[in-house]
Structure 1
Amino acid sequence: MNLLLAEVARATQRLADAGVPSPRFDAEELAAYVHDVKRGELHNVRDGDFDARYWEVISRREAREPLQHITGRAFFRYLELQVGPGVFVPRPETESVVGWAIDALRDMDVAEPMVVDLCTGSGAIALALAQEVPRSRVHAVELSDDAYAWARRNIDASPDTSRIELIQGDATRAFEDRPELSGQFDLVISNPPYIPLTEWEYVAPEARDHDPEMALFSGEDGLHTIRGIERVAARLLRPGGVVVVEHADTQGGVVPWIFREEAGWTDAADHRDLNNRPRFATARRAVL
C-alpha cells in the first residue's frame, strides 16, 4: 500500500469517529481533490508527492463542514456544479425527483416544453432538465441573493444557458407580474424548504450549520412553502400540466392532499426514492 492509501485509511477512521455518514467516500474524494487526480487513480500517487494539505481538509470535514464546500463542487445527475456557502448543496435523492419530471416531459406531445423550477438554489434542477430535455425552455426562480449568484454562475457556464431564464423572486409569488405566462407551463418542479422549525436540533450538522436556513425550514409543520407552490402551480400550469414537489420522507401522507380535486387537481400521488422512502408528490392540472 502506498503512503496516500495508508493515509486515506487513517482519514476514513477519523471521519467515521466524527459521525460523517460516508467516511470512506469522503476520505477518498478529498484525497483526489488535494492531489488533483480521480478517485480511481489514488494508487498512482507516488509517496514523494503526498500533499500534507490533505490533513487540513480532513480536519474541516471532521468538523462536519460539507464535502462540497471544501471541494467547491457538487455532482448532480450528469452535471458538475459550483457550490459553496450561501447555497443549498444538491442531494442525491433529488435526482429521483428530476428523473420523474424528465420522463413526464418526454411523454408529453409538446415540441418545446415550458418548465418552471421554483427555489432553484444552485440551479441543479433547471440545468438537469435543460440538458436532458434538449428542446425545453426552463424558468428558474430563486429568492436568496447568495443562492441566486451561485445559480447565475452555474447557468452561465452551461452550454444550455440560452434556454434557461433565471429570475430573482419569491417562489410562492412567481410571475405574478407576468400574467401572459399564466396557464402556459407544462411542468412545475421544486425542491423547496420543508423541514418544520420544531425539528432544527435533529437536522444533520452539514445542513443545519452550513446550508442557508431559507432553503431548509418552512413554518411549524414544514409545509408553508409547498402550500404556496400549489397556488403558483395552479396559476401557471396549462390543463394537463404536472407539478412535482420534493418533501421529507415523514410527509408522504400529507403533501398529496395539498393538491385537492376541488382546487382543480387530479392524479395526486406520492412516490418513493431508491431507498423506498416517500420522497416527492405529483399532481396533474385538471382538463375541463
Structure 2
Amino acid sequence: MLLADAVKRATAVLAAAGVPSPLVDAQLLAAHLLGVGRGELAALLFGTTVAPEGYDAFVARRAAREPLQHITGTAYFRHLELAVGEGVFVPRPETESVVQLAIDVLTQMCQERGPDGTLTAVDLGTGSGAMAASLAGEVPGCRVYAVELSDDAYPWAAKNLAGTGVTLVHGDLRDAFAELDGAADVVVSNPPYIPAGAIPRDPEVQLHDPHMALYGGGEDGMEMPSAAASAAARLLRPGGYFVMEHAEVQAGQMAELLRGSGDWEDVATHLDLTGRDRATSGRRR
C-alpha cells in the first residue's frame, strides 16, 4: 500500500479509537519506522513510497491507547530526545516551563557569581531525567544531582543522564544528598501529586503511566509534595530557589504549604504555556 493511503487509513483508525491527534500520530509512527522527520515525511506522501513494514502493528498499538512515546521509545523535551518506555513517566510539555524557571534563576545566579562560582542544582524525583538533563545541558558549569526511587524508572534515568555529568542516585528524595545540606542553589521537583481518589481521564495515563509517579499519597495527594518541599528546605542555602510542579487545582495548597512551613519567602505561583497554574516557587529563608 502506498504510504499516503496507509497514513490516511491509520488516521481514520486512530480517530475512531478516540486518539486526540490521529493525523499527527499516524504521521509520527510512519516517520519513526522510515527513519525520517515529519518534514521529510510530507515529501514522501506525494511520491510512490510504500508504507513501512510493521506500520499496521504500530497503529494497532496506538489505537489501543498505548502512548505514542512508548511505541517509538522516544520522548522529546526541550532540546532533548529521551528514551522512555514502560515503568517511567513520560515527560509532558508543561514541565518545560517549570524547568525554564530554574534555568532562568541559575543563569542569573551565574551572572552574579561570575565565572569562578560553581552552582549546584538538585532534581528530586527525576523520573526519566528530563529536568536534570535540561539543567545540565543548558546551564554551563552547573553541578546537577538527581534522585529516583522507582526500580522501574531508575534505569531510564540512568540511560538518559549517561554522559551529561549529572550525579544520579537510586534512593528516596526525603533523605538524598545529605552531603549537600544547606549548600544547593536550586532545587526542582515534579513529584507525584494526584489525590488518591482521582482517576486520570486519558487511557494512556490510566493504563501506562506508573502509579508511583502519579499519586502523591493521602486523600489530597500532598504527601510527596510536602516531602519534596521539606527536602528542598534541607538542601538549599539561604536565598536558594525551589520550584515544584503541581496540578492546576493545587496551586493554593502548594502556596500555603510553603508559606505555612516558615522556611520560605517570595512564594509565587507560575503559569504554564496554556495559562494554567502549573508550579509554585519560593526562596529559602
Bin of the TM-score, shorter chain as denominator length: over 0.9
Deviations 1:235-269 (A, max 9, x none): 11000001000001111121111112652210111
| Counterpart contact for 2:182–2:237, Cα < 8 Å | yes
The share of aligned pairs that are identical, in percent, is 53
Match of 2:221 in 1: 222
Matched, 1:122 2:128: yes
1:201-244 per-residue CA deviation (whole Å, 9 max, x = no partner) reads x3421122111111000121111101011111111100000100
Task: Tell whether the 8 Å contact from 1:119 to 1:143 is kept in structure 2 after alignment.
Answer: yes
Instruction: Measure the CA separation in 1 of the matches of 2:18 and 2:176.
Output: 39
Letter in 2 for 1:243: F
- CA distance in 1 between counterparts of 2:152 and 2:260 reads 37
Partner of residue 262, structure 2:
263
Q: 1:190 to 1:14 in 2, by over 3 A?
A: same
- Structure 1 counterpart of 2:175: 173
Pair 1:223–1:3, CA change in 2 (3 A): same
Does the 8 Å contact 2:181/2:236 carry over to 1? yes
Counterpart in 2 of 1:204?
202
Please report how far the alpha carbon of residue 132 of structure 1 lies from its aligned counterpart in structure 2 after TM superposition.
Answer: 0.3
User: How much has 1:279 moved relative to structure 2?
Assistant: 0.5
Query: Residue 58 of structure 2 aligns with which residue?
Result: 57
- Asked if 2 retains the 8 angstrom alpha-carbon contact of 1:185 and 1:238, the reply is yes
**CA shift for structure 1 position 152:** 0.7
The count of residues paired between Structure 1 and Structure 2 equals 277
The list of structure 1 runs, each at least 4 consecutive aligned residues, that deviate by more than 6 angstroms after superposition, is none
1:40 is aligned to 39
**Structure 2 regions of 5+ residues with no counterpart?**
none
TM-score w.r.t. length of structure 2: 0.93
- Within the candidate set 137, 144, 169, 1:138 is matched to 144
- Partners in 1 of 2:101 and 2:12 — Cα distance? 37
CA RMSD of aligned residues (A): 1.6
1:41-63 CA deviation, whole Å, 9 max, x = no partner? 12326535322411110110011
The SS at the match of 2:252 is coil
CA-CA distance at 1:150 after TM superposition: 0.7
- Structure 1 runs not aligned, ≥5 long: none
TM-score, structure 1 normalization: 0.92
User: One-letter code of the match for 2:158?
Assistant: R
The answer (yes or no) to whether the contact 1:172–1:225 under 8 Å persists in 2 is: no
2:4 is matched with: 5
Quick one: which amino acid aligns to residue 166 of structure 1?
L
- Post-superposition Cα deviations, 1:144-196, rounded to whole Å, max 9, x if no partner, equal 1121111111111x4x2x3x100111112323xx3x42110001101111111
Amino acid at match of 1:229: A
